[in-house]
Chain A
Amino acid sequence: MGLEGIEVEVERGGGLNTEPMILNMGPQHPSTHGVLRFLVKADGEVIRAVVPDVGYLHRSIEKIAEKVGYHGFMPYTDRVDYLAAMFCNQGWAMACEKAAGIEVPKRAEYLRVIAAEFNRIASHLISVGSMAMDIGANTPFTHALREREKINDLLEALCGARLTYNYMCIGGVTWDMPPGFAERALDFIERFEPLIDEFNDLISYNKIYVERLAGVAAASAEDAINYNLVGPNLRGSGVRFDLRRDLPYSVYPELEFDIPVGRGEVGTVGDCFDRYIVRVLEMKESCRILRQCFAQIPDGPVLAKVPRKFKPPAGEVYVRVESARGDMGWYLVSDGSEMPYRVKIRTGSFTAMAMIDKLSRGIMIADLVAVIASLDVIAPEVDR
């Protein structure tokens, strides 16, 4: 990508000739979350424009779906967003089930929600941990990762893998809970909830941290909706919209949980701190959901009868899943054959990239790192 569209201005007047400098926060940088490139036009420390350059991690996953078929595509969905892989599995499974009219057993739905909420906690742990690390505190990152390792151990016992789970399949889930899983999981949740409070004591309300994030890059509710922000980014701007409550799917109607939104408690509504604290509070809500799931899960089969050669009738479906990074849309066009005709995945990180330029006018370079981290942009989700 060249520099067309970024003219270097020479400002005259005041007796001093100055020109803004173009900095390249290149694909390799310790703080861009993944392989992202930003061209930053900065006047000293103050930013004038940010141009994101995406596509470094494009792997044609949507095209691959047309080649491997419905069952075979499930492992690929893990790689669309590898930090919140369960949601991608769930989205694809729901799209295929909706296309073919398959009903998923109740126990399978509960297992899906259990796996998904654990994955939400793990994804948020990385998000808040790496945000703290970008601001300069290295300890919260390792503490968050230590807890995430325990979740990884739980999910490893459940489905055999720690990152790319391939746990759900069309019609249900591949395995039932192993013996002793519920006890281990509930024990983990009980030990984990006080650690969220410890995390808050360590870094969330630390004066230096708060001063770095308060009032920085505030996105108003109107802007957030116009720019298509979703998930914790949208809720951080004060918009109380969550697919699990407003367009419920799976067994979420039977579960009780709150939707945390940003209240501008230290600065403006919709600033970086609000987006950060919404994620921390969502972890607590996920613990609540998990407890209810383990209490309410019924007995029964965990897999509906689905033919090996899966051929949904011709048509199109669009399914939305509340992933850790927001509303993830799965659009499937089938032509009645064994291979899908077109799969399109709509991710929250891709649209968040567009907001970065608007949010970063007038902030400093050190703040740009905070903005990117608070939007929780993940490169594989941006490029697919």
Chain B
Amino acid sequence: MRGYLSNIREAVTTVADGLAVTFSHLVRKPCTVQYPDRIPRPVQQTLPPRYRGILDVDMEICTGCLACERACPINCIAIEIAKDKETKTTLISRFDIDIAKCMYCGLCTQPCPTGAIHHTTEFEGACESIGGLVRRFVSEPVVAYKPKKGPEPDARVAEVLERGKKYLDDFAKPASAQPAASTGEAAG
């Protein structure tokens, strides 16, 4: 008999407590973001700078070293270069990234010497044909960038180089090269 009554008592108290929790949720703000039209700012602007979205390549500062193509575990980057012996320049005739195959791991962005290949905050890559998912960054052959010893003379390229350098600075440096970093604020 005592078990019977305690069963009823437990049932009533726990159910009532659960009902109190759900009732308290009726006056809370929902956490839904009503994308894409009823939001205060576009989502791309709210994403953190490290967000690994669709890849983009700044051909102005690409050195044609093929480090990204080698690093990619899934072989979604296709680059074609031709080394010109007389002018000592490299001509890049093809730079394709298949974003359908890409798994957004970021392994290609780590070995890039100038930060030309980088992730953006773009994530809306849907298109109507699967051929449209291959991003081609070279329309006509372009001369690869040669890193200068001093500051870069061309102002436009210098700006792009600055962005690339800032992107690369965010990555952790190997132990022997890195000075001691402080907790949080100064890092990155």
Contact = CB atoms under 8 A, between A and B. Distances in A.
B71 interface: yes
Nearest to A182: B184
A305 B31 CA distance: 43
Contact of B172 (A149, A201, A207, A303): A303
B130 interface: no
Interface residues of B, number: 47
A208 B50 contact: no
A71 B74 CA distance: 12
A206 B14 contact: yes
Contact of B174 (A69, A160, A171, A177): A171
A57 interface: no
Contact of A299 (B72, B110, B180): B180
A75 interface: yes
Contact of B15 (A156, A159, A207, A306): A207
A299 B50 contact: no
B50 A175 contact: yes
B87 interface: no
Contact of A179 (B174, B178, B184): B184
B107 interface: yes
A303 B174 contact: yes
Contacts of B49: 178
B10 interface: yes
A295 to B, nearest CB: 10
Given A179-B184, A303-B175, A304-B175, A205 B106 contact: no
B107 A71 contact: yes
Interface in A125-139: 139
Interface in B138-184: 170-176, 178, 180-184
A58 interface: no
A210 B11 CA distance: 10
Contact of B22 (A178, A181, A202, A300): A202
User: Which of B49, B181, B186 lies at the interface centre, i.e. has the most chain A CB atoms within 10 A of its CB?
Assistant: B181
A40 to B, nearest CB: 31
A297 B187 CA distance: 14
B21 A201 contact: yes
A304 B175 CA distance: 5
A96 interface: no
Contact of B73 (A73, A201, A306): A73
B41 to A, nearest CB: 15
Contact of B181 (A158, A299, A305): A299
Contacts of A217: none
A72 B174 contact: no
A68 interface: yes
A207 B51 CA distance: 44
B22 A177 contact: no
B113 interface: no
A174 B73 contact: no
Interface of B: 7, 10-11, 14-15, 17-18, 20-22, 25, 31, 47-52, 71-74, 103-107, 110-111, 119, 170-176, 178, 180-188
Q: Which 9 A-B pairs have the closest CB atoms?
A: A72-B73, A75-B105, A160-B52, A160-B50, A303-B172, A305-B174, A207-B11, A301-B175, A68-B73
Interface of A: 68-69, 71-76, 105, 107-108, 139, 146, 149, 156-161, 164, 166, 171-183, 198, 201-203, 205-208, 210, 297, 299-306, 308
Given A179-B185, A207-B10, 15 more contacts: A68-B74, A75-B105, A158-B50, A160-B50, A160-B51, A161-B52, A161-B104, A166-B107, A172-B172, A177-B183, A178-B49, A202-B21, A206-B18, A301-B174, A302-B172
